[in-house]
Structure 1
Amino acid sequence: MSVFTTHIEGIGLWAPSLPGWPTARAVFRGEAAAQHPPLPVPPPLMLSLAERRRAPQTLALALAASEEAIRASGQDASGLRAVFCSAHGDLPVIDHLCSTLVDTPLLLSPTRFLHAIHNAPVGLWSMLNHNTHANTAVSGAAHSFACGLLEALVLCEAERCPVLLTAYDTAAVGALQHTTRSAGALAVALVLSPGCNGRTQAVWRWRLTPDRVAEPALRSGAARALSGNGMSGALPVFEALARGEQTAIALPLSTHQALHIDWASGPPEAPEPVLAAATGCNT
Structure 2
Amino acid sequence: MTHTPSSPAAPAITVFVEGIGLLGPGLENWAQGREQLQGVAPWQAARCALPPPMALPPAERRRAGAVVRISLAVGAEAVAASGLPAATLASVFSSSSGDAVNCHEICSALASSDRLISPTRFHNSVHNAAAGYWSISSGAMATSSVLCARDGSFAAGLLEAMTQVAVEQVPVLLVAYDTDYPEPLHRARPIPDSFGVGLVLAPVRSEHSQAQWTLEPAGCLSPQPADRLEDPALEKLRLDIPAARCLPLLRGTALRQSGRVVLDYLEGLQLALQVAP
Q: Please, what TM-score do these two structures have when normalized by structure 2?
A: 0.89
Tell me, which stretches of 5 or more residues in structure 2 are unaligned?
Answer: 1-8
Partner of 2:225: 214
Is the counterpart of residue 9 in structure 1 residue 18 in structure 2? yes
Is the counterpart of residue 116 in structure 1 residue 125 in structure 2? yes
Q: Distance in 1 between matches of 2:64 and 2:275?
A: 37
Q: What is the deviation of 1:252?
A: 4.2
Q: Distance in 2 between matches of 1:31 and 1:211?
A: 31
Residue-pair matches, total: 265
Structure 1 residue identity aligned to 2:98: G
Is the counterpart of residue 240 in structure 1 residue 252 in structure 2? yes
Partner of 1:22: 31
Partner of 1:260: 272
Contact 1:216 1:236 in 2 (8 A): yes
Partner of 1:194: 203
1:35 and 1:48, CA in 2 relative to 1: closer, same or farther beyond 3 A? farther
Q: Point out the more displaced range, 34-43 or 122-131.
A: 34-43
Q: Point out the more displaced range, 227-236 or 27-36.
A: 27-36
1:29-68 residue pairs with structure 2 within 5 A?
29-35=38-44, 37-38=46-47, 40-68=49-77
Is the counterpart of residue 75 in structure 1 residue 84 in structure 2? yes
Q: Distance in 2 between matches of 1:90 and 1:219?
A: 31
Structure 1 residue identity aligned to 2:225: A
Structure 2 residue identity aligned to 1:216: D
Contact 1:170 1:230 in 2 (8 A): no
Q: Point out the more displaced range, 27-36 or 62-71.
A: 27-36
Q: 1:149 aligns with which of 149, 154, 158?
A: 158
Q: Distance in 2 between matches of 1:220 and 1:38?
A: 19
Q: Distance in 1 between matches of 2:252 and 2:113?
A: 48
Q: Distance in 1 between matches of 2:230 and 2:264?
A: 18
Partner of 1:272: none
Q: Point out the more displaced range, 196-205 or 210-219.
A: 210-219
Q: What is the deviation of 1:239?
A: 1.7
Contact 2:245 2:264 in 1 (8 A): no
Q: What is the deviation of 1:4?
A: 1.9
Partner of 2:144: 135
Q: What is the deviation of 1:178?
A: 2.3
Q: What is the deviation of 1:243?
A: 1.5
Superposition CA RMSD, Å: 1.8
Tell me, which stretches of 5 or more residues in structure 1 are unaligned?
Answer: 267-283
Partner of 1:271: none
